[in-house]
Chain A
Amino acid sequence: MEHLDPSLVDWSRAQFALTALYHWIFVPLTLGLTFIVAIMESIYVKTGDEWWKNTTKFWMGLLAINFAIGLATGIIMEFEFGTNWSNYSWIVGDIFGAPLAIEGLMAFFMESTFFAIMFFGWEKVSKRAHLLSTWLVAVGSNLSALWILVANGWMQHPVGMHFNPDTARNEMTDFWAILFNPNAYSKFLHTISGGYVLAALFVIAISSWYLLKKRNIQFARRSIMVAASFGLIVSLFNVTTGDDSARQVAQHQPVKLAAMEGLYDGKPGAEIVAFGILNPNKKINDTQDPFLFKLAIPYGLSVLSYHKLDAYVPGLKQLVYGDKEKQIMSAQGKMDRGTKAVTALTNYKKAKASKDKLAQAAALKAFDADSAYLGYGYLKAPEEVIPPVATTFYAFHTMVIFGSWFILLFMIILYLTMTNELHTKRWALWAGVLSLPMGYAAQEAGWITAEVGRQPWAIQDMLPVGMATSNISSGSVMITFWMFAVLFTALLIAEVSIMTTQIKIGPKEAKHV
């Protein structure tokens, strides 16, 4: 393995980030809207009221537009593993490929098959068969997300595998350890519940717009009632999964946690920054205050990370330069051991080529002693382990602040709906409309926190991003980057314009039975 052209790494990274960010505009809405639609259709089947059938059909139409365009970006992203990240695919394909294959074979086919019945089968199958299809689409789309997030969770905390020095590949040894990886379930539940929150905001925003325009009043009020009820429950659940995610990050990715909080100096009883402005001139080894301004909650970070008031939370300084008292190994120490592992691996290959069994065994023993730090052997400086602090910090805080606002919004909207005052409170309706872009921003911010925060690693502590790309020309990646940028933007414009047209046409309202 050798270091690749930095501009190739940057363009490959930019292309994947672009694809993922665009893909993530469409996916969370599908994850949540499928369940909202399934709930509405269940009400239709339960009550027999045709009004609910038409309401379900309207939201299903918007779901179909979103689903189709989300699919296109998702497929491109999977191809990029092969085209732009072939070293990554070579080194961990045996593990990463399995969840992706299950996703394609089981969840995706299930979702797509029943989607056709759901969308085109209203008059062709019985009410109950149609309802079952709708629920299976919802479950299938979320199971798709499960397998992708199992794969992603594994990248954040690799388990259930061993490194094969003969092939220089990681091989799966325990499928269940990968499926039940704490990072996998916390990431899955936090991500899908975030998608549910976005879908609830989507329904509220469009319905609020109808109320502001004084049209489709009953449709809007009932849709808001369903969405706000659903949104309140899932947003509270989202908080609990967020808490679990933070605990996983503290245990397995402490550098990411320190970057998320702008924590340079570790301490027991660490505070959590509720809102802050970072000092842009702060360097890891100077004495400047990391913040120009901050509002902090005492002990918050210790409680969030370890559920203890006085728990010690290491800062970037301790994690990079080490702390003997707290038994934290420095990044340089890990790099030294990583270099030993790389050397031992090279010696093993040489001994194998020369068929020297004794040297082979000695090299393998030396490799096993330091293999946990193999990835560090490819870093050039200890400071490389620090992710971009400002991006991670602001993304994390955007997600948390907006997420907290959404809970309050759902409470307000639900209360006003239940007291029959919502349509008279224009400020609340405007809040409903304007919260939709905030929902999308929170979604993207969540992914930026997760992915930028784990830099420089493609796989935590094992494979730096600089080692993961394909050995191709940076020019070709640059050209395809711009092609995809134009294509995705066109798709986004298409989605927004088709949806806007459908929303302006509005639902076909039926009389109650």
Chain B
Amino acid sequence: MDYTEAILWYAAWPILIYVAYRFVLLNLHHHAKMERLEMLEERFGDQCYDTDPLLKEDLK
């Protein structure tokens, strides 16, 4: 009996979890920047970009 297809499908389970985890981390990274920008905007208004130019660059 050839179980290759079944083994590949079962192997997809941990891969799915890993991909989902990495996708969460990727979005979290972006989200952290958004939160930081929000905080700076609250503190410094539009000048926040001068305060943290790298942030503006990241958000482009």
Contact = CB atoms under 8 A, between A and B. Distances in A.
Please determine whether chains A and B interact with each other in the same assembly.
Answer: yes
Interface of A: 35, 39, 42-43, 142, 174, 176-177, 179-182, 184-186, 188-189, 192-193, 196, 218, 221-222, 225-226, 229-230, 232-234, 237, 244, 414, 417-418, 420
A192 B6 CA distance: 16
A174 B35 CA distance: 56
Interface string B34-56: 11001000000000000000000
B17 A35 contact: yes
Contact of A39 (B6, B21, B38): B21
Contact of B27 (A177, A234, A418): A418
Given A39-B21, A182-B6, A234 B28 contact: no
8 contacts: A43-B24, A188-B13, A189-B10, A229-B24, A229-B27, A232-B23, A233-B16, A234-B20
Contacts of B31: 221-222, 225, 417-418
A131 B57 CA distance: 35
A185 B16 contact: no
A236 to B, nearest CB: 10
Contacts of A229: 20, 23-24, 26-28
The main secondary structure of chain B at its interface with chain A is helix
A420 B34 contact: yes
Which of B21, B30, B34 is the most central at the interface, judged by chain A CB atoms within 10 Å of its CB?
A: B21
B22 to A, nearest CB: 9
B10 to A, nearest CB: 6
A418 B34 contact: yes
Contact of A186 (B7, B9, B26, B28): B9
A43 B28 contact: yes
A186 B35 CA distance: 40
B25 A43 contact: yes
Nearest to B15: A237
A354 to B, nearest CB: 40
Nearest to B31: A225
Contacts of A186: 9
Contacts of B12: 189, 237
Given A226-B28, A417-B31, A420-B38, A176 B3 contact: yes
A232 B16 CA distance: 11
Nearest to B4: A180
Contact of A185 (B9, B19, B26): B9
Contacts of A193: 16
Contacts of B38: 420
Nearest to A232: B23
Given A185-B6, A222-B31, A230 B24 contact: yes
Contact of B9 (A43, A222, A244): A244
A237 B34 CA distance: 28
A226 B5 contact: no
Nearest to B14: A139
A233 B15 CA distance: 11
Contacts of B26: 229
B1 A226 contact: no
A107 to B, nearest CB: 14
Contacts of A221: 31
Nearest to A174: B1
Contact of B19 (A142, A184, A218, A233): A233
